[in-house]
Amino acid sequence: MELLDGRLVKKEILNKLKEEVAHLDRSPGLVVVQVGEDPASNVYVGQKEKMAKELGYQYSHVKLVSDVTQEKIEEVIDGLNADETVDGIIVQMPLPKQLDTKRIQNLIRVDKDVDGLSDMNAGKLIHNEDALMPCTPKGIMDILEYYQIDVEGKNVVIVGRSDLVGKPLAAMMLNKNATVTVCHSKTVNLAHYTKQADILVAAVGKKNIITPDMVKDGAVIIDVGINRIDGKLYGDVDFEGVKDKVSYITPVPGGVGQMTVAELAKNVLKAYHNIEK
């Protein structure tokens, strides 16, 4: 078994980006819009800020009060859409209930939507066109590429169908010629599918939902789960149980989770180039 080391792939990506950014005329601009003071959101926003500063991006953080109105946040986004120094806009999720999350995600200019969550970017992805794509599934594709694991013709089984991971990953895998199966909470006999997977992706958010009997010998396992229990992190896969029968596996932590910020950094640079064109 070989570990798929997200930290290593992340470092590679960030080093390459840093070098590229150093040669640009203008620093790519990233703005994170945060509503309220959710502690988890604070951590994620902090990671983005750290990445941006490390790469020499122009970073700003717009903090809105937790009872901000829809009108006000739309005004903020309109301003950022029009601002020529801003290449990428992120609205940190989740948003408080008074706000229309979907509408806000779709208000961000398509070419500044570096989280790739808008309907438009999702449509471009499924149509296999150039798009800004969601960061976590993009990170999975980059880990596989780094380790030269070809997906063409492979039986790829994705467990979980979120707009953030499962669905966009299915599109990316299909665009790379994998045969793709999407399983979820309504799937009957989950193990029947997972046991056949050459590449098995678990993106459910439930500790140990993938047990050794559900995994084919020699499979590649991508564990997207981040389950915090009593202060410890667990994936969706019973790592100890499966590690001796698989060919590759992403650890938790240190696997897919590492990639999200690196992919965001890539998206910001992509947005920069699209806008500069």
Which residues here bind a second copy, judged by CB under 8 A? 102, 118-124, 126-127, 129, 152-155, 161, 163, 167, 170-171, 174, 177, 179-184, 186-188, 193
Active site residues: 48, 92, 115
> Shortest approach of a second copy to residue 94 CB, angstroms?
16
Q: What are phi and psi of 199, to 5 degrees?
A: -125, 120
Which of 135, 145, 147 lies closest to 4 in space, CA to CA?
A: 147
Place of tokens 């829809």: 70
- Decide whether 66 or 177 has the Cβ nearer to a second copy: 177
Choice between 174 and 233, CB closer to a second copy: 174
185: how many CB neighbours lie within 10 A of its CB?
10
Q: Which of 80, 136, 72 is nearest to 108 (CA)?
A: 80
